[in-house]
Chain A
Amino acid sequence: MGRLANLIGLVALLAVPMLGVSDYVLHLGITILIWGFVYTAWSLMGRFGLVSLGHGAFLGIGAYTVTMLWNHAGISPWLGIPVAVALAVLVAVLIGYPCFRFRITGHYFALVTLALGEIVLMLIVALRDWTGGSLGVTPASALSADVSFSLVALQVSSKGVFFYVAVGLWLLGLWVWKRVDSSMARYALEAANEQEDAAASVGVDVTRTKLTITVLSAALTALGGIAYGQYQLYINPETVSGIAKSLEIVFAVIAGGMYVRLGPTFGAAFTLLLAEGLRVAFGHDVHGLDGTIYGLMLVIFIIFMPEGILGRLARLWETRRAPTSPRTASA
């Protein structure tokens, strides 16, 4: 039954661009899917207690590497993407290995990753001769009035086409989540999150398992950053790195729920629609209203509903179906 529902949902999703919906709706859809993908990537780590406040670093590395290679060396994103992902993986290993080796967890892990996020932000600003600094940068356009699609530059002006790219990425994220969920690594990570020494004593290679999930999360996040850059065709340090962006990821995931597979995506939809709704209701002029509400909600969520909206719904559903089952939901 679950499989059929998934299939119907997917078909409905794929049909969206063919229904003649406006570009605005497509834009919302694409944004939700890309960020849903990034948030899913973050949650791969976050759900095992590896709370990173520096995922902006990987977004920034992804987006800026590809754009810089294309703008300054004329290297196609086809080559730039593997380079950027490799760079993100390298950084993840450089930070992750010593962290996990020396048992840096909890607050300390969050603060080390926060430093990483700030380093990338500062580097982008400091290298302003190449990156354009805080003003941001536009990938050199391969599009024009006649050319609506460039395979070499991976640029496309049609939102409908990009929608499918975003769906593909998002499905990739969900697939990785499922693979992790059904692997031995999941049990190892859950054990390590509960009791690191105990897990190590029964033969779990804690450092290695944590590093694997971190590398996976970093690589996918970099991909998300690249997708965002190629879609918006404009990036700046604030939108793809730094503490504010990193906190935004954490907030959306907490709102949606990081322990269920669709939770992060739900968080993406929820936060984006909230921001858009407020913008429509109050106009452009009221700056800061969405943040005020976000912040308050984040506090309320953590205090009263730490498993997130979708997590709570899934648990209610589970308990209704199997009132005796003590396990919480893991969709």
Chain B
Amino acid sequence: MIDIFLLEAILNGILLGGVLALLALGLNIVFGVIDVVWICYAELIMFGMYGNYVLHKDLGWPLLLAFAVCVVVVAVLGVLLHWLVIRPVLGGAPINQLLVTGGVLTFMQALATLVFGIEFRNLGISMPSLELGEIFLSQSRIWACGVSLVAVALLWLFLKKTYLGTAIRAISQDREIMPLMGVKPGRIYLITSAIGGGLAGLAACLLVLQYDVHPAIGLTFGPITFMVCVMGGLGNLLGGFLAAFIFAQFIQVGGFYFELEWGYVFAFCFFIAMMFWRPQGLLGKRA
């Protein structure tokens, strides 16, 4: 007979996996197409969370309207990030592209501190827990997991079925040849940045239901997002999806047996071990 609390941890892990999968999705598509890691990705999400807070709590907008506006605003932030910061260093040393977004991370985190202070803020919405026998599951997590599955499916359809999606996939496969075929990489990059930002905005809407927002929140789930992407094989959407669920189990079940930090320690150790076993990612092919 399996321990009921262990079962609860495993189910929670699956739900967390859905959330992590969504977090990783935006970062992954940006990396896959533009070949740049947005180190400040989690800070975009943080801005989205503050956006929700301001619109819903301070200005009293209906929640769903606030959500929609935030997704658009963060998508615009993604475009600005690409246009103002990434584009000038695209031709430079690859590591500079990663470091420059590190600067944006510092900037956004400090700006949030400057504007909102270091207090924890929340929307004050608490959804009841779902009861399955003796198991309690957070309803907001179920929502988050469901929405993220839908988002993954829609993105997949977009990439496979539309002309634009095909162009995006083509660019990600060969950055040198595609311009010769009449695809403008600059435009594709901007569209991809908008999609990446929009996904970060969506993640923000789902996270703000579960977590308090504060300026350093990006540092708490930023690293795990990078790990998920890298373990899935940076740019590999399906691999990232799988890695998200594996990671989530490490965190929840590890946290169940020990303490929450230990769950993270195990997950990160597992990540490093995986890097050596399959540096190309879970589903990647060896170059």
Contacts of B219 in A (CB 8 A): 242-244
Q: Is B109's CB within 8 Å of the partner chain A?
A: yes
Q: Is B143's CB within 8 Å of the partner chain A?
A: no
A158 to chain B, nearest CB (A): 35
Q: Produce 1/0 per residue, A44-56, CB < 8 A to B.
A: 0000010101000
* Contact call B100/A299, Cβ cutoff below 8 A: yes
Contact flag A306-B93 (CB < 8 Å), given A102-B279, A115-B271, A299-B103? yes
Taken together as a complex, chains A and B put the C-alpha atoms of A61 and B118 apart, in Å, by 28
Contacts of A106 in B (CB 8 A): 94-95
Taken together as a complex, chains A and B put the C-alpha atoms of A302 and B103 apart, in Å, by 9
Contacts of A301 in B (CB 8 A): 103
* Contact call B89/A302, Cβ cutoff below 8 A: yes
Contacts of A243 in B (CB 8 A): 219, 222-223
Q: Is B105's CB within 8 Å of the partner chain A?
A: yes
Taken together as a complex, chains A and B put the C-alpha atoms of A104 and B261 apart, in Å, by 27
* Contact call B104/A111, Cβ cutoff below 8 A: no
Contacts of B126 in A (CB 8 A): none
Select B114's contact among A108, A110, A289, beta carbons within 8 Å.
A289
* Contact call B92/A306, Cβ cutoff below 8 A: yes
- Inter-chain CB contacts under 8 Å: number: 147
Q: Count A-side interface residues using an 8 Å CB cutoff.
A: 48
Contacts of A299 in B (CB 8 A): 85, 100, 103-104, 107
Contact flag A122-B268 (CB < 8 Å), given A51-B99, A247-B106? yes
Q: Produce 1/0 per residue, B205-234, CB < 8 A to A.
A: 000000000011001001100110010001
Contacts of B106 in A (CB 8 A): 247, 251, 291, 294-295, 298
Q: Is A153's CB within 8 Å of the partner chain B?
A: no
Residue of B nearest to A296 (CB): B107
Q: Is A254's CB within 8 Å of the partner chain B?
A: yes
* Contact call A104/B275, Cβ cutoff below 8 A: yes
* Contact call B272/A95, Cβ cutoff below 8 A: yes
* Contact call B114/A298, Cβ cutoff below 8 A: no
* Contact call A288/B111, Cβ cutoff below 8 A: yes
Q: Is A98's CB within 8 Å of the partner chain B?
A: yes
Select B37's contact among A111, A119, A296, A302, beta carbons within 8 Å.
A111
Q: Is B24's CB within 8 Å of the partner chain A?
A: no
B119 to chain A, nearest CB (A): 11
* Contact call B265/A290, Cβ cutoff below 8 A: no
Q: Produce 1/0 per residue, B104-127, CB < 8 A to A.
A: 111111111110011000000000
Q: Is B96's CB within 8 Å of the partner chain A?
A: yes
Q: Is B264's CB within 8 Å of the partner chain A?
A: yes
Taking residues whose C-beta sits less than 8 angstroms from the other chain, chain B's interface range is 35 or more
Q: Is B136's CB within 8 Å of the partner chain A?
A: no
Q: Is B130's CB within 8 Å of the partner chain A?
A: no
Q: Is A287's CB within 8 Å of the partner chain B?
A: yes
Q: Is B88's CB within 8 Å of the partner chain A?
A: yes
* Contact call A108/B279, Cβ cutoff below 8 A: yes
Taken together as a complex, chains A and B put the C-alpha atoms of A303 and B85 apart, in Å, by 8
Select B107's contact among A108, A118, A291, beta carbons within 8 Å.
A291
Among the interface residues B88, B117, B223, B230, which one has the most CB atoms of the partner chain A within 10 A? B223
Contacts of A302 in B (CB 8 A): 89, 96, 99-100, 103
* Contact call A122/B261, Cβ cutoff below 8 A: yes
Contacts A/B (CB < 8 Å), 29 sampled: A49-B95, A51-B95, A98-B275, A98-B276, A104-B275, A107-B234, A115-B227, A115-B272, A116-B272, A119-B268, A122-B264, A126-B259, A126-B262, A243-B222, A244-B216, A250-B99, A287-B118, A288-B113, A288-B215, A291-B106, A294-B107, A295-B103, A295-B104, A295-B108, A296-B103, A297-B103, A298-B100, A298-B103, A302-B89
Query: Which residues on A are within 8 Å of B, measured CB to CB?
Result: 49, 51, 53, 95, 98-99, 102-104, 106-108, 110-112, 114-116, 118-119, 122-123, 125-126, 242-244, 247, 250-251, 254, 286-292, 294-299, 301-303, 306
The 4 closest A-B pairs by CB, nearest first: A291-B110, A295-B107, A288-B113, A298-B103
Q: A107-B94, A114-B223, A123-B261 are in contact. List 11 more A-B contacts (CB 8 A).
A: A49-B95, A95-B272, A107-B98, A111-B37, A114-B226, A115-B227, A119-B269, A287-B117, A288-B215, A294-B110, A298-B102
